[in-house]
Amino acid sequence: AQKITQTQPGMFVQEKEAVTLDCTYDTSDQSYGLFWYKQPSSGEMIFLIYQGSYDEQNATEGRYSLNFQKARKSANLVISASQLGDSAMYFCAMRGRYGGATNKLIFGTGTLLAVQP
């Protein structure tokens, strides 16, 4: 069975500093995808970044980067130069093998990030 674990219920970071949100996963699939979503208080899940299991380089999207360590089964999100608007809930998610029957997203329990001025 697939599982996502986020061990940090909440995190604080000072504005303009970098922060790392932890995510570990468990799967027996050889091919899978890892995602990070941001959920502000408005409720919408906003896609941030994607990493494929066969991608050789870590994914980056602007201030977001994904520190993918396949052997350790971790996919940590790094936010550089934090902004007040980054305060939100962050979810790590996994998708099973592309084209397979179980193509649903499995989410972790989330990390609440608070950016302090």
Partner 1 sequence: EAGVVQSPRYKIIEKKQPVAFWCNPISGHNTLYWYLQNLGQGPELLIRYENEEAVDDSQLPKDRFSAERLKGVDSTLKIQPAELGDSAVYLCASSLERGSEQYFGPGTRLTVT
Question: Residue 11 or 45: which CB sits closer to partner 1?
Answer: 45
Which parts of this chain interact with partner 1 (CB under 8 A)?
4, 37, 42-47, 50, 91, 93, 95, 98-99, 101-105, 107-110
Q: What's the closest the beta carbon of residue 42 comes to partner 1, in angstroms?
A: 6
Q: What's the closest the beta carbon of residue 117 comes to partner 1, in angstroms?
A: 26
**Sign of the CA dihedral 9, 45, 2, 69?**
negative
Q: Which amino acid would we find at residue 106?
A: I
d(CA 27, CA 29): 5
Question: Residue 83 or 109: which CB sits closer to partner 1?
Answer: 109
Q: Pick from 91, 99, 103: which is nearest to 35 by CA? A: 91
Q: What's the closest the beta carbon of residue 106 comes to partner 1, in angstroms?
A: 8
Question: Residue 35 or 68: which CB sits closer to partner 1?
Answer: 35
d(CA 113, CA 3): 22
